Amino acid sequence: MRATLAAIVAVALLAQLAPLHAQSAQRFSAQGSLLSVSPSGDAYEGLSSGIGFEAQLRFTPSSLSLGLGYQRSSHDIDLGDGFDETAVIAGFFLEPRYVIDVGSGSYAPYVASRLALLTQSIDIDGLKASASGTQLNLGGGVLVRLTPRINLDLGATYGAIDFDDVEVSYQGETVTVGDSGGGGKNFVLRVGLTIGLK
């Protein structure tokens, strides 16, 4: 057990010291990604899986990098009696990421977490219903070096969200529906490109 722990610590220290060629070589980078979002739970009742996008700026001083960005996805929602509409889940996120050096200059796996402030909303002929929540996802992926400035990012995360009560707005009036909040989970697949800036 002690030998295993020592090996893990040694690998972590080497990852900190070694140059991570598959991670962006530039301290600042921009990333754009396509998303596939599969929600579940009470907060997402009737909501189908959907596709979307994200955009973020990343700061990479070492093997640990930090991203700040915006994500958005669209989902069909079944309102009953054959009545379908489109709901949107969108908001801002903060994503720390730790890249693991595996001795390759062409690819590197990473682990990541994401804290997001998201709003789920639907607009039907001027009537808008929305609920905001805090989401925490955990996951990882792999960065593949395409050029000295461009990486391909393939990732997946899984997490949970807790929504506040729903607010309904119509013709300038807003009403909060009591005890309408709820929780849910989501599974997100991501494919994107990271471009080093400087």
Residue 155 has what pLDDT? 97
Q: What is the pLDDT of residues 59-80, one digit of tens each?
A: 999 999 999 999 999 999 887 7
Residue 12 has what pLDDT? 43
Q: What is the mean pLDDT of residues 123-133?
A: 91
User: In terms of DSSP H, where are the helices of 1-153?
Assistant: 2-17
Average pLDDT over the chain reads 87
pLDDT at 15 > cutoff 50: no
Q: What is the pLDDT of residues 178-196, one digit of tens each?
A: 888 899 999 999 999 999 9
Which of the four pLDDT bands, split at 50, 70 and 90, describes residue 7?
A: very low
Which of the four pLDDT bands, split at 50, 70 and 90, describes residue 109?
A: very high
Instruction: Please count the other Cβ atoms lying within 10 Å of the Cβ belonging to residue 158.
Output: 12
Q: CA angle 115-118-123, nearest 5°?
A: 170
Q: Contact, 161 vs 134, CB < 8 A?
A: yes
pLDDT at 25 > cutoff 90: no
Which residues, at least 6 apart from 27, have a Cβ–Cβ distance to it below 8 Å? 59, 60, 61, 198
Residue 24 has what pLDDT? 61
Which pTM does this prediction carry?
Answer: 0.82
Q: What is the pLDDT of residues 140-158, one digit of tens each?
A: 999 999 999 999 999 999 9
Q: How far apart are CA 99 and CA 62, in angstroms?
A: 9
pLDDT at 35 > cutoff 70: yes
Q: Contact, 120 vs 45, CB < 8 A?
A: no
Structural domains of the chain in order of their starting residue, each with its CATH number? 2-196 (2.40.160.20)
- Of the candidates 138, 130, 154, 149, the one whose C-alpha atom is nearest the C-alpha of residue 43 is 130
pLDDT at 176 > cutoff 80: yes
